[in-house]
Structure 1
Amino acid sequence: MRILNILLVFLISGISMANNLDPVKVFNEANAFYEQKNYESAIEKYESIIDKNYEAEAVYFNLGNAYYQLRQVAPSIYNYKKVLQLNPENKAAKTNLKFADKMKLDEFDKKVQLNSNQILHNTIGFFNMNEWAVIAVVSTFLILLSFVIFYFNQNSTVKKVFFTLQIVLIFVAIISVVSAFSEQNYANSERFAIVFDEEVALKVEPRTSAKNAQIIHEGTEVFIEEETTKWFKVILPNQVTGWIQKEAIKEI
């Protein structure tokens, strides 16, 4: 698998530029280790960048590739998912994720039907929040332009055309604004995680002595429904619900 070797734009969250770590330098060192097939050292370098709260899809992408080369299922899937969280349109990450998914032991016949928020996302999710916002802005501009033409033009046929166009554009603008806010709400409220333990029992209650609901394996993605101090209540892709200890999974 190829790695991304680009000039990074890092998003810095609450850290000082006085930090001793130079993310671009470390990133290039990690890439060099990767090219030498020294994947363990490459992983260590990529992880050191992330540990300092520098976020860039290229780091997660290359880290996912390094883990994939070592056939480590959960971390490779997790990092490709992180790429898609930052950029849902990253085609390389989508492709590599499909390869990583093939290493999973668990297979599920159907996807989770979570809630109305999830159903709405599945309906309007072909555009992300930013794309819906752009559509709303463009629609608003076209509404104003159509109104100007409608107002100043004396031809009755032209007036009818642009009046109808305004109605359509107003509808598009409203749908776009609602969809943008809906996608923002979805991104803020929906919590997914990847199972990192090689094998773990999903419990019917949040205690180790409880009956098993199902045995699942590393790489499986779960939806987090609620949590206690030490446990997450999760939903599997086959809609089985149960409790899993927090240290067994890693939230995306």
Structure 2
Amino acid sequence: MKKLLIFSVLLNLVFSQGYDSLFKEGNSNYKSENFVQAIFNYEKILEHVEHENIYYNLGNAYYRNGDIGNSIWALEKAYILDPRDSDINFNLKYLRSMVMDRIIPPDDLYILSLYKKTIEKLRLIDLLGIVGFFLLLFSIRFAMHYFSYISKRINSILSYLLMVTIFTSSWMAFDKYWSISDNSYAIVLSTAIDVRSAPIMRGENVVFRIHEGTKVEIQDTQIGWSEIILLDGKKGWIPSKQLREI
């Protein structure tokens, strides 16, 4: 695991509401190996504001406290906020390697796999910036149409390319938005849990077992139960209290 982020690079909102002192106190507790108190400090901040540095430090504190499930949960949250951060990626990859379950998803078409990886590594604000940039270029090109000697053919080609780029980047931005707003993933917190064919505690309805740190998608919920599906398509029911939603 890479080291704690000890600098306080938070939003102005954090400074204005006094959470910076909690962040520094959490870092101090972490360095003195009082991980339980550090976790308390970071979780307290996250009740009011989200920031990748807080989730990153929280994940490290959970890891040092021996809680792999919550550590992965915190790093997954940090990854959503900053998917290109090298420290977050390193620690999350390391933690995932500690998970007992080795779930292999079905292979996608190359172009679909490339699209998913691209979307995953870009933040929504990045995609909106790309859309805005190409809209600006299109506006400039439209204005220059009346003041330039560029041929009609070249103008048409440029317009077509810009419109395709704007449409593609807009589609990706909407896709990213829906993936964030409709996020139904969770992390298993129990050391091991039996997955059942129905939301009822009977010995004969166990279909398979999963372990701490495994990432699952929640498909449905009933009182006290969640229906989950794994990356390889296996599905079943487990008690909701054994999960922490990302």
TMscore range, shorter length: 0.7 to 0.9
Alpha-carbon spacing, 1:131–1:155, altered in 2? closer, same or farther (3 Å):
closer
2:240 matched to which residue of 1? 246
TM-score normalized by the length of structure 1: 0.85
**Equivalent pairs, count:** 238
Alpha-carbon distance between aligned partners in 2 of 1:67 and 1:34, rounded to the nearest angstrom:
10
What's the CA shift for 1:215? 0.8
Whether 1:149 and 2:144 are equivalent positions in the alignment is yes
**Percent identity over paired residues:** 28
TM-score normalized by the length of structure 2: 0.87
CA contact (8 A) 1:121 1:186 kept: no
1:3 matched to which residue of 2? 4
1:110 matched to which residue of 2? 105
1:85 matched to which residue of 2? 80
CA contact (8 A) 2:199 2:238 kept: yes
Alpha-carbon distance between aligned partners in 1 of 2:163 and 2:74, rounded to the nearest angstrom:
40
2:197 matched to which residue of 1? 204
After superposing on structure 2, the runs of 4+ consecutive aligned residues of structure 1 that deviate more than 6 Å are: 118-121
RMSD between superposed Cα atoms in Å: 2.5
Q: Secondary structure at the match of 2:186?
A: strand
Which consecutive residues of structure 2, in runs of 5 or more, have no partner in the other structure?
Answer: none
Match of 1:137 among 129, 132, 145: 132
Alpha-carbon distance between aligned partners in 2 of 1:111 and 1:87, rounded to the nearest angstrom:
26
Q: State the Cα deviation string for residues 131-167 of structure 1 (Å, max 9, x = none).
A: 22222211111112112222222353xx432331111
Alpha-carbon distance between aligned partners in 2 of 1:191 and 1:112, rounded to the nearest angstrom:
22
Alpha-carbon spacing, 1:10–1:241, altered in 2? closer, same or farther (3 Å):
farther
Alpha-carbon distance between aligned partners in 2 of 1:109 and 1:162, rounded to the nearest angstrom:
48
Alpha-carbon spacing, 1:242–1:154, altered in 2? closer, same or farther (3 Å):
same
1:46 matched to which residue of 2? 42
Q: Secondary structure at the match of 1:55?
A: coil
Alpha-carbon distance between aligned partners in 2 of 1:219 and 1:88, rounded to the nearest angstrom:
19
CA contact (8 A) 2:184 2:245 kept: yes
CA contact (8 A) 1:222 1:237 kept: yes
Matches within 5 A, 1:173-252: 173-209=166-202, 211-252=205-246
Alpha-carbon distance between aligned partners in 1 of 2:220 and 2:43, rounded to the nearest angstrom:
28
